[in-house]
Amino acid sequence: MPLDIAPFQARRARLLATMQAAGGGVAVIPTSPERHRNRDTTYAYRFDSYFYYLTAFREPEAVLVLVAGDTPRSILFCRSKDVEREIWDGYRFGPDAAKDAFGFDEAHPIDALDEQLGVLLANQPAVFHSIGYEPDWDRRIADALNRVRAQARTGAQAPAQIRDVRSLIDEMRLIKDASEIATMRRAADISAGAHLRAMRAARPGVFEYEVEAELIHEFRRHGSQAPAYSSIVATGPNACVLHYVENDRQLADGDLLLIDAGCELDGYASDITRSFPVNGRFSGPQKAVYELVLAAQAAAIAEIRPGASWNAGHDAAVRVLAQGYLDLGLLTGSLDGALESGSYRQFYMHRTGHWLGLDVHDAGDYKLAGDWRPLQPGNVLTVEPGTYIRPAEGVPEAFWNIGIRIEDDALVTDNGSDILTHATPKSVADIEAIMAER
C-alpha cells in the first residue's frame, strides 16, 4: 500500500507554524545513528521517534531541517544513492527520490549538511535543537553556530537563542491523529492475538523463553517489525520483579505467569499485561488477588475522560488496592491510614499508567505548572495496576510469590475512553475457559 504522506506533511506544517509564532528560526532534527552490537555488526536499526513522526523516513544517516519564516521550508538530508552499498545493505532512496516520495521542499546529500547549516542558520533568530540528548549533536550545532559567528564581518549574525525542539513536538505527539490511532489499534489487535497464543502455549514444564517465542512468532507473522520492548515472561517469584527479562525459568504447576508484552507496528507501540495460572485454574488466594487488581483497573478506567486529571485513575486504583489489602489481611489498620502512610506500597509500588505512542513510555509531560495534566481526546495511555506479594514477615504464606499486573491501552475519546486492547481476555472465567482449550 502506498505511504500516505499527508499526516507527516501536516505535522511539519504545524511545527513550522509553532516555530513561527515563537519568533521563527531553524529546527535541526536528526534520526538515530546505527549502533554496533559487537565488532562489525549492528543492532537492528530503529529510527528516532521524533524524526520519524515528522518524516516517515526510515533510513539511518538522515536529518530534517525546518526553516520557519515568510517562506517555510522542509529540507531532508539523507544518504546519496550508492549502487555498490545497495548490493550489501539494501535500497536507498537518495535525495531526489526521497524528496518526491516523502513530500519535502528540498532534499540534499547528508555529506552537505555541515556546510549547509552554516548558510541556513545565518541571520536566523533561533535554532531549535534537541538540547542535551546527543552530545555529538550538541557539539555539531555549536560548531555550526561558530561558523556563522566567524562571518560576522560580512554582516552575518548567528541565532541568539537555542530552543528545545522536543518540547514543541512533545505537545503535538500527545494528541494522536487518525492515522496514528489506526496504526495503534492494529498493533493492539496483533498483541492481543499474541497473548492469546501465549495462554494456549503455557503449561507446566515449558520454559519462559518458549512462551516468549510464541509471542514473537505472532507479532512477526502479522506484520509487526519487532517487540515494542523486551518482553516480560515471568512465572512464580519472577512475577514479583517488575522489569524481569531473563525469561529462563521453567513453568511449574500452581504458579502464575505474568506476561507484559506488546508489538511495535510502523513505529507505534502496544503494551499489554496479563497474568494467569500455568495449570489453567486460579487457586483461592490467586483468584482473590487477581479480582482485586481487576477491580482496581476498572476503577482507574472509569476515571478516563476529557478534562479528568491524569492522576485521577492512579488515585482510584490505589484506594481499591489498599482497601483490598486490608480485607485480605495483608495490611492492618484503616484505609485512610494505609493511604497516608503509604504502607500499601509494600505490594504496589509503581504508577498506574503512562503515555503510549511511538515510544512505549511516550513523549509528553504529566504535569503543567505543577498540576496534573487534564486528559484530552486523542491521548493514549496505559492502565496497569498490579500487586506483588513477596515472602515477608506478617504476610500469610498462601499469598507468597503472587505477582499480578493487568494492563490495557486506552484512547481518550470525546465521551470517555476506548480500550484498544479489549480483545485480550482478562476475566477469570474467560482466562480459565481459554486455558481449558489447550
The answer to whether residue 208 is catalytic is no
Q: Which residues of 113-135 are buried (b: 16+ CB within 10 A; e: fewer)?
A: beebbbebbbebbbbbbbbeebe
For residues 112 and 119, is the Cβ–Cβ distance under 8 A?
Answer: no
State the catalytic residue, choosing from 203, 222, 319, 354: 354
The answer to whether residue 271 is catalytic is yes
State the catalytic residue, choosing from 46, 197, 203, 350: 350
The answer to whether residue 106 is catalytic is no
Residue 195 Cα distances to 125, 282, 341, 398, angstroms: 51, 18, 37, 27
State the catalytic residue, choosing from 40, 70, 84, 136: 40
State the catalytic residue, choosing from 48, 189, 212, 260: 260
Residue 344 Cα distances to 320, 350, 389, angstroms: 11, 11, 11
Residue 176 Cα distances to 183, 317, 412, angstroms: 10, 25, 10
State the catalytic residue, choosing from 290, 359, 405, 409: 405
Q: Which residues of 235-259 are buried (b: 16+ CB within 10 A; e: fewer)?
A: bbbbbbeeebbebebebeeebbbbb
The answer to whether residue 163 is catalytic is no
The answer to whether residue 243 is catalytic is yes
The answer to whether residue 407 is catalytic is yes
Angstrom distance (rounded) from CA 389 to CA 278 = 18
Which DSSP symbol is given to 329? T
State the catalytic residue, choosing from 271, 303, 359, 409: 271
How is residue 12 written as a grid cell? Answer: 511539519
The answer to whether residue 405 is catalytic is yes
The answer to whether residue 108 is catalytic is no
The answer to whether residue 354 is catalytic is yes
The two counts, helices (H) then strands (E), for the chain are 13, 21
State the catalytic residue, choosing from 111, 361, 365, 366: 361
The answer to whether residue 40 is catalytic is yes
Which DSSP symbol is given to 374? B
Q: List residues with catalytic annotation.
A: 40, 243, 260, 271, 350, 354, 361, 384, 388, 405, 407
